[in-house]
Structure 1
Amino acid sequence: MTEYLPVILPLVWAAILAVGVFIYVLLDGFDLGLGVLFPFAPNHRCRDAMMNSVAPYWDGNETWLVLGGGGLLAAFPLAYSLLLPALYLPLILMLAGLILRGVAFEFRYKADTSRWMWDWAFAGGSTLAALMQGGAVGAFIQGFEVKDNAYAGGPFDWLTPFVLVTAVALVSGYVLLACGWMIMKGDEELRDWAYKVGRYAIVAVGAFIVIFSLWTPLMHEDIAARWFTLGNIVMLSPVPILTALSVVGVWYALEQRWKHVPFLLSVVIFLLCYTGLAVSLFPFIIPPDVTIWDAAAAPESQLFMLYGAIPLVPIILGYTAYSYYSMWHVKDHGYH
């Protein structure tokens, strides 16, 4: 059994990190989307309602970001050492945006004459963090220049047209999640506005999905071969088909003014796009050359950390689920 550990453990840790990152994208995605939409809300009362709807959850959502970063360092130290210099600027700007948003949460509640300033700080921090997350995803997809297990590119190699479009695409996805959230949690006025904005968001998301479905294979021959060889077309066809059906389903749910379906189908769209990304890039953790096995820590280290992760991850899942369950029907959390 022990001779298989170097093969199995990197797969286990890749799955743990993939789940953690996906949960973070969903949970922090809708409250970042709320921040992006914040200045455009119909009135001050709606802005209060938007902030109150995420007040019990927003800081807990970022637990998954910490888990992803810490897990990457511990389980795949080579990947961590390559990603940080390659994405130093977008990651620093993302953290600055998250800090600004967190400060705005607290200061806006206590401010009076300067509340307008913290409104813009909340919106600006959220938008900056969302854009930089999208930029990091785009840079990851396009790949990094690696030589002798070290990053060999420059500090701005990540900044390309593909990355800029990816950044805007992720923001549009976050806005769609935020609209679904407001439809579930808002009053009638806020829901009416969210239904309207959600229609624009789903059109943008659908357009970006088509763009990246064509652009990404053109950038990487390996990805094109993986998706467009005859056998794989049949085997992988459920992913694009279900994605298209989900996009249409969100539009229909918004038109029918359903309450929970737009958010749930938006989650499905994210899951399918995430699955498509995994199919395109696996087994590379640093595209286009470094696999999860190349970047993995020693099997003894990964096994030791797994003993801690086995109880820890369910605990985090449990308290996250309980916080949403216990605070779901509480309307006023004091952020107004």
Structure 2
Amino acid sequence: MNWFTHENLALIFAGLTAFAVLLYAILDGYDLGVGITLPMHNEEWRDTAIASIGPFWDANETWLVLAVGLLLVAFPSAHSAILKALYLPVAVLLIGLILRGVAFDFRAKVKAHQKIRWDWCFKMGSILAAFSQGFMLGIYIMGLEYTSVSLLFACFSGVCVVAAYALIGNNWLIMKTSNALQLFAIRRSKQAGTITFGGILAVCLVNPLVNTNVYEIWSTPPFASLFAAIPLVCFAMFVLGYQVLKRLPLEDDKGAWLPFVMTIVIFCMCFFGLAVSFYPFVVPNQITLYDAASARDSLMIMFVGSVFVIPVITAYTFVAYYAFRGKADNLRYY
């Protein structure tokens, strides 16, 4: 039996694209979050915060490139429809990412009194990139349509994604720093968590109203009881995470990793919830992933390449995080 049918390959590449998007949201999400919450009133804290993401932030964006590349080659018609609708916010995203990259390098090369300007650029670039991603998510949920209501929801979604990235970014700092900066991150994490929770509730309420098949998917047995675990786990992580934050820091820095791991679970549950809601559509209510997929021969060639490329990227990511494990050191330039 040939398991590599056109339908199965389309499903495999949809899974790989989703995997890349999720890893990007988690990995680049926390370093964007560090930029968003960068403490502008304390230069030493800023140096430590940036040092905590220094070995990782550039490589984290590899997953965005991979996701867009997979979407382009495996689902070209969907790529065209999505990018056509999101052209301007994608341009804003790229501006934000470029601003972050320039600021990261220039802050190390300018005179001491000018470094604050580039730190502001790094912070604003992070906010701009995060907001544009949230805006695109809001427009996508609203069916890629631009109306006054969808624009309002997209802007609200943008604010909530900024808060979500700030949440995971602060939880990264809780895990990677100590003393006063860690206490600062704990306070900011509580604030960001409240906004993030409100944003998730709003998406849960709006999504069934906009996409007619969502309510049916989440309420039809036998999968309805299984899908119910997704919001329950998400809610539990918010409650438990807040309780953990109230008790941190503990002696010997025990449990400092818990908020970050709990936030990863929240991100995964939200992503799975959206995937379940939209399946099998890759363009909401318009194009299914099976209709958008490239020809079987093209998918098969790309599958062979993916078997080699994706494990290498994953292995490199694992090695980098293992090599730079532990608390962040003071920032030094050579």
Instruction: Please name the residue that 1:54 is paired with.
Output: 53
Instruction: Please name the residue that 1:286 is paired with.
Output: 283
Q: Deviations over 1:228-267 (max 9, x none)?
A: 3465542321111111111101101101113011000000
Instruction: Please name the residue that 1:221 is paired with.
Output: 212
Runs of at least 5 residues in structure 2 that lack an aligned partner in the other structure: 249-254
Instruction: Please name the residue that 2:123 is paired with.
Output: 123
Instruction: Please name the residue that 2:266 is paired with.
Output: 269
- Alignment partners' CA distance in 2, 1:79 and 1:142: 16
Instruction: Please name the residue that 1:148 is paired with.
Output: none
- Alignment partners' CA distance in 2, 1:216 and 1:275: 14
Q: Counterpart amino acid of 2:77?
A: L
Superposed, which structure 2 residues align to 1:158-307 within 5 Å?
160-229=151-220, 231-257=222-248, 258-307=255-304
Instruction: Please name the residue that 1:74 is paired with.
Output: 73
The SS at the match of 2:92 is helix
Q: Deviations over 1:46-99 (max 9, x none)?
A: 011111110111100011011011111111111111111110000011011000
Q: CA deviation at 1:3?
A: 8.4
Instruction: Please name the residue that 2:26 is paired with.
Output: 26
Q: Deviations over 1:192-243 (max 9, x none)?
A: 0111111111111222222221121122221122223465542321111111
Whether the aligned pair in 1 keeps the contact of 2:135 and 2:154 (CA below 8 Å) is yes
- Alignment partners' CA distance in 1, 2:175 and 2:84: 40
Q: CA deviation at 1:144?
A: 3.0
Whether the aligned pair in 1 keeps the contact of 2:166 and 2:192 (CA below 8 Å) is yes
Q: Equivalent pairs: percent with the same residue?
A: 37
Whether the aligned pair in 2 keeps the contact of 1:250 and 1:262 (CA below 8 Å) is yes
Q: Counterpart amino acid of 1:60?
A: A
- Alignment partners' CA distance in 2, 1:335 and 1:285: 45
Instruction: Please name the residue that 2:9 is paired with.
Output: 9
Q: CA deviation at 1:159?
A: 5.9
- Alignment partners' CA distance in 2, 1:159 and 1:254: 35
Count of residue pairs the alignment pairs up: 326
- Select 1:319's aligned residue among 308, 316, 321: 316
- Alignment partners' CA distance in 2, 1:190 and 1:134: 27
- Alignment partners' CA distance in 2, 1:313 and 1:4: 19
Whether the aligned pair in 1 keeps the contact of 2:37 and 2:170 (CA below 8 Å) is no
Q: Counterpart amino acid of 1:304?
A: I
TM-score with structure 2 length normalisation?
A: 0.93
Q: Counterpart amino acid of 1:198?
A: S
Instruction: Please name the residue that 2:108 is paired with.
Output: 109
Runs of at least 5 residues in structure 1 that lack an aligned partner in the other structure: 146-153
Whether the aligned pair in 1 keeps the contact of 2:142 and 2:150 (CA below 8 Å) is no
Q: After TM superposition, which residue ranges in structure 1, 4 or more long, deviate above 3 angstroms?
A: 1-4, 156-159, 228-233
Q: CA deviation at 1:333?
A: 4.6
- Alignment partners' CA distance in 2, 1:90 and 1:158: 17
- Alignment partners' CA distance in 1, 2:62 and 2:3: 34
